[in-house]
């Protein structure tokens, strides 16, 4: 029997044989893996349950949703928006607590089902969840419950595409969609996947990118995610931001975010936020949750979320063969869109 989401989309379960083969290189999920048609979004087996919950989730008019494909500048934008709202004068002690609790991730519940995710990784979320919802079952979605009970203006992280959110989301609340050139994003994803226990990727960069291009890495495919958001870029509740533009002129981007979310900050306050959320500042503060959720022996620095933060690093990393393969993928997928990326000079 065909399994369908509340939004009518079809869910296809990956077969056991495929999963056993994929397991040699990638971490898999306890409830298997699924694809959501028509685009083929690839997620852990519990995603349909949580996506159905998001379908009826109560968004509020003052929410700010940071929507991204992974590794495109999510954490940076979360810090920016949270600090613009709650810490423009840099005097809020909460700012040093984990961004994962100040700005919870709507798409995270599915990820706790990873075969190698251990209690350590879940503990802070579980502690908060037990406090706010002692009678509820964590299996029903800890992050969704935490978000539901959250007071004040919510800064919500989310990696699901627009089509898997509540219908008419943009008429209900504000979305900041951050995107980055896919070459740098793929490299960032590779480094993340090799150190995160959830992904525990054990192959080469070439193998990882091959699997991404086939849509066989969690959250793939990249293009429909981006194109759908791009098609909504003129909606008054959508702000479409390029990571490379943030790197080039952060004050310009902060001014437009300031207008978009209506924070009315002064130039001085925007300068404060820019300084506090710079790569070096975020790196030196670190994050209490981020610091433990990976195999540290593989990591060059001390965080997976603040690694190099560069534009065009792919040039130092891609072989000519890999570059040709990725260019072909970009070309094939760019035919029906006018979005263009800055790949660095
Ligand atoms: S995730 O896991 O999807 O939420 O990751 P995400 O935060 O989207 O992406 C991580 C990459 O963003 C870079 N980053 C930054 N760049 C510039 N300035 C600041 N403040 C900043 N914070 C995070 C981070 O370094 C990752 O990119 P790479 O290329 O891996 O360094």
- For residue 296, what are its two tokens? 């540290």
Please identify, by atom number, the ligand 1 atom nearest to the C-alpha of residue 68: 8
Nearest in space to 97 (alpha carbons), one of 72, 119, 124: 124
Could you read off the pLDDT of 56-115 as tens digits, one per residue? 999 999 999 999 999 999 999 999 999 999 999 999 999 999 999 999 999 999 988 877
Q: How many CB atoms lie within 10 A of CB 142?
A: 24
What is the SS3 assignment for 262? coil
Strands (E), the chain: 3-4, 10-13, 33-36, 41-44, 64-68, 155-158, 174-179, 238-242
Residue 2 has pLDDT above 90, yes or no: no
Going from the Cα of 90 to the center of ligand 1, the distance in angstroms, rounded, reads 22
pLDDT of residue 198: 78
pLDDT of residue 236: 98
Residue 178 has pLDDT above 90, yes or no: yes
Nearest protein Cα to ligand 1, atom 24: 306
Please identify, by atom number, the ligand 1 atom nearest to the C-alpha of residue 72: 8
Q: How confident is the model at residue 140 (pLDDT cuts 50, 70, 90)?
A: very high
Considering only residues 27 and 122, tell me which one the structure prediction assigns the higher pLDDT: 27
Percent of the chain whose pLDDT exceeds 70: 94
Pocket test for ligand 1, best of 66, 69, 76, 193 (most atoms within 8 A of CB): 76
Q: Which domains can be identified in the chain, with CATH numbers?
A: 61-334 (3.40.50.300)
Number of H helices, E strands in the chain: 16, 8
If you ran DSSP here, which 8-state letter would residue 126 be given? Answer: H
- For residue 344, what are its two tokens? 């660095």
Going from the Cα of 144 to the center of ligand 1, the distance in angstroms, rounded, reads 24
Going from the Cα of 246 to the center of ligand 1, the distance in angstroms, rounded, reads 12
Pocket of ligand 1 (CB under 6 A): 68, 70-76, 184, 188, 191-192, 277-279, 282, 305-309
Annotated active-site positions, please? 159
pLDDT of residue 194: 85
Q: What's the rounded Cα separation, in Å, for the pair 325 and 102?
A: 39
Instruction: Report whether 46 contacts 158 (CB < 8 A).
Output: no
Within 13 Å, how many C-alpha atoms sit on residue 104's CB side?
A: 24
Nearest protein Cα to ligand 1, atom 19: 279
Nearest protein Cα to ligand 1, atom 13: 309
pLDDT of residue 301: 54
Pocket test for ligand 1, best of 183, 208, 309, 312 (most atoms within 8 A of CB): 309
Q: CB burial class (10 A; 0-12, 13-18, 19+) of residue 151?
A: exposed
Q: 3-state SS string over 204-255?
A: CHHHHHHHHHCCCCCCCCHHHHHHHHHHCCCCCCEEEEEHHHHHHCHHHHHH
Going from the Cα of 219 to the center of ligand 1, the distance in angstroms, rounded, reads 16
Report CA dihedral (294, 305, 144, 34) to the nearest 10 degrees.
-70
Residue 20 has pLDDT above 70, yes or no: yes
In sequence order, which residues have a C-beta less than 8 Å from that of residue 46 and are 6 or more positions away? 29, 31, 109, 110, 113
pLDDT of residue 126: 86
- Helix 250-261 and helix 74-86: axis angle, to 10°? 60
Going from the Cα of 86 to the center of ligand 1, the distance in angstroms, rounded, reads 21
Q: What's the rounded Cα separation, in Å, for the pair 122 and 324?
A: 40
Q: Helix, strand, coil % (nearest 5) of the chain?
A: 50, 10, 40
Nearest protein Cα to ligand 1, atom 22: 76
Give pTM, 2 decimals. Answer: 0.95
Going from the Cα of 248 to the center of ligand 1, the distance in angstroms, rounded, reads 15
Nearest protein Cα to ligand 1, atom 12: 73
Please identify, by atom number, the ligand 1 atom nearest to the C-alpha of residue 74: 8
Q: What's the rounded Cα separation, in Å, for the pair 253 and 146?
A: 29
Residue 161 has pLDDT above 60, yes or no: yes
Q: How confident is the model at residue 119 (pLDDT cuts 50, 70, 90)?
A: low
Q: What's the rounded Cα separation, in Å, for the pair 102 and 24?
A: 35
């Amino acid at each position: 029997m065909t399994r369908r989401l509340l939004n009518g989309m079809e869910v296809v379960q990956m077969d056991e044989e495929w999963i056993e083969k994929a397991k040699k290189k990638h971490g898999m999920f306890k409830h298997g893996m699924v694809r959501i048609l028509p685009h083929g979004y690839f997620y852990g087996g519990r995603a349909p349950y949580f996506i159905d919950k998001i379908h009826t989730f109560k968004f509020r008019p003052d929410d700010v949703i940071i929507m991204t494909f992974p590794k495109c500048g999510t954490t940076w934008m979360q810090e920016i928006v949270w600090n613009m709202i709650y810490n423009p004068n840099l005097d809020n002690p909460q700012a040093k607590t984990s961004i994962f609790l100040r700005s919870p991730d709507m798409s995270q519940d599915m990820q706790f089902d990873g075969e190698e995710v251990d209690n350590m990784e879940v503990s802070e979320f579980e502690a908060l969840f037990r406090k706010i919802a002692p009678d509820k079952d964590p299996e029903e979605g800890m992050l969704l419950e935490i978000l539901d009970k959250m007071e004040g203006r919510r800064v919500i992280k989310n990696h699901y595409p627009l089509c898997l959110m509540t219908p008419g989301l943009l008429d209900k609340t504000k979305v900041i969609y951050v995107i980055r050139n896919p070459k740098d994003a793929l490299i960032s994803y590779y480094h993340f996947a090799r150190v995160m226990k959830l992904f525990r990727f054990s192959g080469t960069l070439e193998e990882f990118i091959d699997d991404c291009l086939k849509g066989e890495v969690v959250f793939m495919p990249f293009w429909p995610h981006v194109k759908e958001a791009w098609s909504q870029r003129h909606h008054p509740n959508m702000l479409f931001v390029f990571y490379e533009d943030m790197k080039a002129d952060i004050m310009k981007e902060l001014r437009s975010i300031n207008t978009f979310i209506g924070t009315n900050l002064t130039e001085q306050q925007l300068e404060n936020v820019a300084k506090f959320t710079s790569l070096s500042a975020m790196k030196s503060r670190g994050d209490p949750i981020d610091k433990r959720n990976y195999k540290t022996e593989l990591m060059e620095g001390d965080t997976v979320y603040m690694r190099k933060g560069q534009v065009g690093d792919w040039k130092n990393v891609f072989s000519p063969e890999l570059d040709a393969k990725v260019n072909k993928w970009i070309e094939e997928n760019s035919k029906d869109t006018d979005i263009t990326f800055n790949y660095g000079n």
